[in-house]
């Protein structure tokens, strides 16, 4: 096994840590993000050889290359569980080619039909195994409660990922009345003995603020530890353990395209990613750095185009930028946390520059990178944004032209790829099944505008019934079982709480008390 340790993007960690500790800590001391000291290098033969293995073994092989400090057998077992029959396609993330040079990497075959499953079927198992290891080494003496505030998709994927694991329980808060019928049912019917779900009176911002306040309450932390032997963790998208599984599918996809005769080994490939927190596209960058022949990284934004503007100008500016609601809500973001890792790499790991820019972002709500860094950004990235109407028109256009149904996030990426692409073949990251966003797919099929009210008879349908209708009208009868059966599953969680620190803490303690009975 290769040895590898983790340093942080702001230069505060003096003693580099191992993978298991980076996963348990999440955020590094000083507020920076963990990155591996060494990026392993693969030859084109190493990469192409992956195609002979099942996906779980491809993933295990990349983890070993990164020097993950768990026994090889444990890595194999955890990967077998993460990428097995919980996915509805044994290829895990199959590729559909729309034409000879346009390939769609379907990242939504997991249990919740969202691309978040690719990371959240994997990270929780490694989190739990890391906790076990640190306990055995006598370096940890408590368990964890994962607390998640969600606007919809992440919550379900996290619940499903952490369900019934050792040393960890999970509570998810969503804005009551602020998520779709499908999203609500996905969470409220969640199985598992260590899970809990609350609706919160308020919007997503209230949920997030509530969670943040609870995380910041040291007295509460001390009480949880003393009375329940628990400490809070967020397992959010800045955790290295969520990023690494995403590196796997870009290396794997390249190998697969070669094995399928769609690329010759060594041919350049552009990758287009519908981007929010910058995790997915950063994973493609790391795959490139490992030796995968990826040429340009195409960053697709919706109307919240802060990243597109940054890539095109070198200035990241949220000082006067409204937050816009779009049909692709998982990309509705202003502060994109994983960009910090990208800049760290593009400055040849200049922690001082990163610390300054992040401090500017906090105090002035903007920062500008130096000319050399901007040049490097332009060498690797191109970016475009797609407005809400164009997003829905693209869904219809691709259905008519290729008989393929895109969700709104993937539609943004498809349109941006068409606008930005050059000679190279393009791999488009598809991040959700269309049936998670049936209402906007319905609008697209009916040439409606985003936000236009649905006809009364359609509005009256449940999410499942609406998906049935869209399936009939489009001829795509591929609604995943986990979504199709939601109307039939019993609702387990009905509690709605206020979003104040005290209310969340009270509900948390009640959940833990019930767990420990
Ligand atoms: C989370 C998410 C994204 C954004 O991915 P990042 O890694 O945050 O850039 C895009 N599409 C969907 C459907 C998502 O759930």
pLDDT in tens, 25-45: 999 988 899 999 999 999 999
According to DSSP, residue 9 is labeled: T
Q: Which atom of ligand 1 is nearest to the CA of 116?
A: 15
Q: Do 115 and 77 form a contact (C-beta atoms < 8 A)?
A: no
Strands 230-233 and 143-149: what pairing?
Answer: parallel
Residue 304 in domain: yes
pLDDT band at residue 241 under the 50/70/90 scheme: very high
Query: Which alpha helices (DSSP H) does 103-217 contain, by range?
Result: 116-120, 123-136, 153-162, 181-188, 204-215
State both tokens at 431.
């991040």
Has residue 281 got a pLDDT over 60?
yes
Least confident of 2-11, 402-411, 448-457: 2-11
Mean per-residue pLDDT for 129-155? 93
Answer whether residue 395 is part of any domain.
yes
CA 151 to chain centre: 13
Q: With a cut of 60, say whether residue 474 has pLDDT above it.
A: yes
pLDDT of residue 79: 98
Q: What domain range is 390 assigned to? A: 95-114+241-430
6-22: average pLDDT: 95
- 349 and 385 housed in the same domain: yes
Which one of 430, 463, 496 terminates a domain? 430
Half-sphere exposure of 96 (CA within 13 A, CB side): 13
Q: Of 110, 123, 204, 280, which is best to mutate to test ligand 1, by the most ligand atoms within 8 angstroms of its C-beta? A: 280
Pair 330, 458 in one domain:
no
Quote the pLDDT of residue 222. 96
Spatial contact of 62 and 244, defined as CB atoms under 8 Å apart? yes
Q: What is the mean pLDDT of residues 313-327?
A: 94
CA–CA separation, 474 vs 402, rounded Å? Answer: 12
Structure tokens at 352: 């001082």
In the chain, pLDDT over 90 holds for what percent of residues?
90
Q: What is the distance between the alpha carbons of residues 457 and 446, in angstroms, rounded to a whole number?
A: 14
Residue 204: predicted pLDDT: 83
Which of 108, 109, 277, 286 has the most ligand 1 atoms within 8 A of CB, as the residue to mutate? 277
Q: How far away, in angstroms, is 275 Cα from ligand 1 center?
A: 6
pLDDT at 244 exceeding the cut of 80: yes
* C-beta of residue 397 within 8 angstroms of C-beta of residue 417: no
Q: How far is CA 451 from the centre of its chain?
A: 25
* CA–centroid distance for 377 within its chain: 22
Residues 251 and 381 in one domain: yes
Q: How confident is the model at residue 8 (pLDDT cuts 50, 70, 90)?
A: very high
Assess if residue 332 is contained within a domain.
yes
Query: Would residue 305 count as lying in a domain?
Result: yes
Q: What is the pLDDT of residue 489?
A: 96
How far, in Å, CA of 455 to CA of 304, rounded?
A: 28
- Indicate the average pLDDT of the chain: 95
CB atoms within 10 A of CB 71: 12
Q: How far is the CA of 214 from the centre of ligand 1 (A)?
A: 25
- Say yes or no: 265 and 287 in one domain: yes
Cα of 274 to ligand 1 centre, how many Å? 7
With beta carbons less than 8 A apart as the criterion, state whether 244 and 66 touch.
yes
Provide the angle, in degrees to the nearest 10, between the axes of the packed helices 339-346 and 351-364: 140
- Confidence at 2, pLDDT banded by 50, 70, 90: low
φ/ψ of residue 274, rounded to 5: -75, 115
Averaged over 417-433, what is the pLDDT?
A: 97
My answer on whether 352 and 469 are in the same domain is no
- 246 in the same domain as 358: yes
CB within 8 A of 51, min separation 6: which ones? 252, 255, 256, 258, 259
Catalytic residue status for 116: yes
Question: What is the CB < 6 Å shell around ligand 1?
Answer: 114-116, 153, 237, 274-280, 330-331, 409, 431-432
Contact 109, 94 (CB under 8 A): yes
Residue 101 falls inside a structural domain: yes
**C-alpha dihedral sign at 243, 440, 412, 432:** positive
Query: Do 273 and 402 fall within a single domain?
Result: yes
Same domain, 447 and 392: no
pLDDT band at 236 (very low <50, low <70, confident <90, very high): confident
Residues 341, 275: contact at Cβ < 8 Å? no
Q: What is the pLDDT of residue 516?
A: 80
- State how far Cα 134 lies from the chain centre: 26
Q: Which DSSP helix (H) or strand (E) runs through 193?
A: none
User: What pLDDT is stored for residue 410 in this prediction?
Assistant: 98
Same domain, 358 and 453: no
- Is 369 in the same domain as 247? yes
Gap between the Cα atoms of 230 and 144, Å rounded: 5
* 517 has pLDDT over 80: no
pLDDT tens string 48-57: 999 999 999 9
Instruction: Report d(CA 455, CA 69) in Å as an integer.
Output: 56
> Of 116, 156, 288, 396, which residue is the catalytic one?
116
Report how many helices (DSSP H) and strands (DSSP E) the chain contains, helices first: 23, 15
Whether 126 maps to a domain, the answer reads no
Atom of ligand 1 nearest to the CA of 280: 7
pLDDT surpassing 60 at residue 1: no
Digit-coded pLDDT (tens) for 53-88: 999 999 999 999 999 999 999 999 999 999 999 999
In this structure, the answer to whether residues 250 and 326 fall within a common structural domain is: yes
153 band by pLDDT with thresholds 50, 70 and 90:
confident
| CATH number where 249 lies | 3.40.50.1100
Between the CA of 457 and the centroid of ligand 1 the distance, in Å, is 31
On whether residue 207 sits in a domain, the answer given is no
The string of pLDDT tens digits covering residues 298-315 is 999 999 999 999 999 999
How far is the C-alpha of 327 from the C-alpha of 412, rounded, in Å? Answer: 10
The pairing of beta strand 143-149 with beta strand 168-175: parallel
Examine residue 457 and state whether it is found in any structural domain, yes or no.
yes
What's the confidence (pLDDT) of residue 203? 85
CB atoms closer than 10 angstroms to residue 27: 17
287 & 342 share domain: yes
What DSSP letter does each residue of 209-275 carry, written as one string? Answer: HHHHHHHT-HHHHHHHHHHHSEEEE---TTSHHHHHHHHHHHHHHHHHHHHTTSS-TT--EEEEEE-
Asked if 207 and 175 touch (Cβ cutoff 8 Å), the reply is: yes
Split into its structural domains, the chain has a count of 2
């Amino acid at each position: 096994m290769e040895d590898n340790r983790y340093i942080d993007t702001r230069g505060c960690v003096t003693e580099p840590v191992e993978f298991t500790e980076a996963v348990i800590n999440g955020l590094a001391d000083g507020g920076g993000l963990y990155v591996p000291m060494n990026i392993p290098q693969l030859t084109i033969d190493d990469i192409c050889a992956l195609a002979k293995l099942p996906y779980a073994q491809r993933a295990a092989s990349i983890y070993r290359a990164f020097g993950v400090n768990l026994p090889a057998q444990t890595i194999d077992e955890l990967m077998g569980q993460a990428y097995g029959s919980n996915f509805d396609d044994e290829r895990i993330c199959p590729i559909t080619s729309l034409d000879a040079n346009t390939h769609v990497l379907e990242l939504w075959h997991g249990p919740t039909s969202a691309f978040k499953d690719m990371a959240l079927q994997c990270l929780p198992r490694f989190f739990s195994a890391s906790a076990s290891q640190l306990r055995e080494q006598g370096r940890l003496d408590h368990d964890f409660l994962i607390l998640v505030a969600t606007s919809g998709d992440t919550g379900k994927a996290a619940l499903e990922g952490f369900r019934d694991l050792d040393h960890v329980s999970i509570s998810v808060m969503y804005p009551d009345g602020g998520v779709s019928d499908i999203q609500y049912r996905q969470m409220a019917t969640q199985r598992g003995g260590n899970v809990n779900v609350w609706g919160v009176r308020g919007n997503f911002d209230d949920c997030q603020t509530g969670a943040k306040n609870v995380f910041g309450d040291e007295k509460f932390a001390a009480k949880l530890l003393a009375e329940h032997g628990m400490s809070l963790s967020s397992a959010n998208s800045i955790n290295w353990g969520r990023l690494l599984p995403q590196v796997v599918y870009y290396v794997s996809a390249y190998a697969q395209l070669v094995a399928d005769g769609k690329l010759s080994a060594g041919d350049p490939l552009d990758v287009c990613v519908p981007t929010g927190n910058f995790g997915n596209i950063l994973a493609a960058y790391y795959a490139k750095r490992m030796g995968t022949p990826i040429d340009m990284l195409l960053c697709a934004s919706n109307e919240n185009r802060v990243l597109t503007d940054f890539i095109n100008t070198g200035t990241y500016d949220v000082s006067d930028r409204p937050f816009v609601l779009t049909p692709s809500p998982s990309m509705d973001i202003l502060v994109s946390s994983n960009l910090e890792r990208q800049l760290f790499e593009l400055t040849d790991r200049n922690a001082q520059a990163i610390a300054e820019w992040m401090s500017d972002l906090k105090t002035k709500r903007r920062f500008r990178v130096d000319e050399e860094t901007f040049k490097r950004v332009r060498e690797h990235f191109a970016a475009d944004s797609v407005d809400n109407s164009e997003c829905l028109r693209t869904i219809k256009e691709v259905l008519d032209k290729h008989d393929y149904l895109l969700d709104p996030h993937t539609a943004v990426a498809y349109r941006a790829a068409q606008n930005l692409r050059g000679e190279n073949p393009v791999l488009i990251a598809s991040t959700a099944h269309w049936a998670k966003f049936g209402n906007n797919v319905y609008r697209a099929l009916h040439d409606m505008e985003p936000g236009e009210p649905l006809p009364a008879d359609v509005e009256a349908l449940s999410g499942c019934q609406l998906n049935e209708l869209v399936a009939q009208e489009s001829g795509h009868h591929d609604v995943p079982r986990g979504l199709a059966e939601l109307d039939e599953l019993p609702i387990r969680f009905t509690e709605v709480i206020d979003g104040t620190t005290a209310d969340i803490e009270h509900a948390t303690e009640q959940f833990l008390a019930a767990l420990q009975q």
